[in-house]
A and B are shown apart, each in its own frame.
Chain A
Amino acid sequence: MRVPALALSVGVVLADSSIVTLGLPDVMQEFDGTVFGVSWVLTAFNLVLALAIIPAVRFARTTAPQRGWAIGLAVFSIASALCASAGSEAILIATRVVQALGGALTVACAIEMLARLRGSHERAVPVWAAAGTIGVSVGPAAGGLLTELLSWQAIFWVQLPMLLLLPLAAMRSPGPPEPGPEGQADLRPEVALALLSAGLTAALFLLVVLLTEGWALSPLAAAATVSAIPIAAYAARWLIHRAGPPLSAALAGGIAVTGGLAALGVLPGASWALTLQPQILIGVGLALALPVLTLAAVGGHDPHGKRAATTIAARHAGIVVGIVALAPVLSWQLDTQRERAQDSSAALLLDAEIPTETKVALGEAIAEQISKADGRLPQVAPAFDAVTPPAENAEAYDELEADVQDQIERGATNAFSLPFLGAAAFALLSLIPIARLRATNERDL
């Protein structure tokens, strides 16, 4: 009973690094925020988790981990409720920081308790690594579902029942800490994991914003679309046994992730279906790279859980680097492309073969939509619906609507091109530590 409960706590906390992604567009609207500002709802959590997990693991080893786990879980759950009740973006970010502190203590103590219950940190790895992977994979889809059916606040409310696990902390001690000297971590797998996480999370964040804000998909449809990555990763897990030596498989995985991200940077149209092929490539890449790199990072003798902590810190630091580096690029590109799309739409309207009165009425309706969009990409369909053209111009009017919509979609899609290529650059950089690990491994053999 305790092992599933501990695994569940790890899965829920680590899912929080991505679960809120699909709620961000709604958060941005509710608090009248910007893409860059709202990205800190994700960044703050991951930054604090990355910074706090190493001292938290030390704390867990030197004190009673069940007490630390209970305190961490209580702080995490109550902070989740505070996130749901936040009245401003600043308060939401502040409560996310508290949530991450509680989360770091929960994960660190859960890892220590799992190690004591299973006899060693080495034996605990499969449990918490699987729980974390499932949490991070399911997170975006779960967040999208909750946002669509209820609200973004529901993402945080559903975490409150984690308090029900607290009585388990009162059960007998899981045993003494694992003896032995502190293990030395080889940081190359961690660096590779951090760079892959940077590329992947930035891509997930970008894809969600593109689907919901750029192409106006509902959170549920966006959640279904971005589920292609974890589904592909799950379906392709058998490939790892047929892809040659493990580190060659990891290298292939890194290349596939880079290729998939770069393909998202050169989308030839504004359709969710066009994102599936790159997502499948990324998912297959993950199936090949992540297990090998995680094993290389946390495998072997690790009596103090130091390598486990470093691995989690590296992955979450990578998430922070990816979002902090690429969210401002996206903000800048959205501004630039919005202006270009507005100009090209205005050109179409000015040159359209429809009566001047219709043009003027339509221009006013579009200007109202631009004003309503408040810096984001405007929706033009309501403007066209609001104006009735003369019957003899109906065909030209419909053509104009299709052409203007096309320009807006081109602007929306193109704004994400450079950020996706930036995410691909992070994944490309991960090939360096993977290749060096592979070379060292071959030499040792």
Chain B
Amino acid sequence: MPPRLRAPLIAFAASIGLIGVYLAFGGASYDPAKVADPCEQRASATDPNRPLFESIALSALDGAACDLGVTREELAIALTDEDSTQQFAEAHDISEDDIEDAVRAGLIRAVDDAAAAGRIDGLDETLLRQLAEHAPVGALIAALQAISDDDSVQGLLQQLSGLQDVKVPSLPSLDDLNNLLP
């Protein structure tokens, strides 16, 4: 090999070799995982081993995110506090009412999903549907976050009635809940 070519070719081979090894070990795909499309049904949403209210919350997030055209995760971060919600609304040029409407629609869809999966029925289904349709969305989110995994629908109602500044009818016992039924 002519001396004038030897060093450039060795440098080229070393460069290609190193880049090739790095690519072979995943250098081109070492990036954060892509998040799932919220408009597609997730297995976790109907997983019977997952606590009921967590399934409802996740399914509601998916439904709302699908309506708003964002990811479930982006919406979850936006709902962590008021500042985040405002920033999210400004970034997507939507009002906070739009977000509330989407979350409510998501909650209704989540109750439908839970009923279709046989996880709720009868009075629980009716109560949850009424809450999803009429209770203040912020209060519902706060109650879903505060509720324990093994709690019942009554526990959710107690969480709601215990929240300050929330206009939820006082519901001390299951008997009184019948008033909510159509």
Contacts and interface: CB of A to CB of B under 8 A. Distances in A.
A262 B74 contact: no
Contact of B33 (A249, A337, A344): A344
Nearest to B151: A356
B18 A281 contact: yes
Interface stretch (B8-16, B110-118, B173-181): B8-16
A266 B14 CA distance: 15
Nearest to A355: B149
A41 interface: no
- Which of A248, A269, A341, A363: most chain B Cβ within 10 A? A248
Contact of A344 (B18, B27, B73, B84): B73
Interface stretch (B51-59, B97-105, B123-131): B51-59
B60 to A, nearest CB: 12
Interface string A50-93: 00000000000000000000000000000000000000000000
A205 B90 CA distance: 34
A407 interface: yes
Interface of A: 243-245, 248-249, 251-253, 255-256, 258-260, 262-263, 266-269, 274, 277-278, 281, 285, 288, 337, 339-344, 346-347, 350-351, 355-357, 360, 363-364, 367, 407, 410-411, 413-414, 438, 442
Contact of B32 (A248, A251, A288, A344): A344
A249 B84 contact: no
Contacts of A410: 30-33
Contacts of B19: 259, 262-263, 266
Nearest to B15: A259
Nearest to A367: B80
Contacts, number: 143
A267 B15 CA distance: 14
Given A248-B4, A263-B15, 14 more contacts: A244-B3, A245-B4, A251-B7, A253-B11, A263-B22, A267-B30, A268-B27, A342-B77, A344-B34, A346-B77, A347-B36, A350-B58, A414-B30, A442-B4
Interface residues of B, number: 48
Contacts of A351: 44, 58
A268 B25 contact: yes
Given A266-B23, A346-B76, A363-B80, A244 B32 contact: no
Given A351-B44, A364-B80, A255 B32 contact: no
A248 B8 contact: yes
B161 interface: no
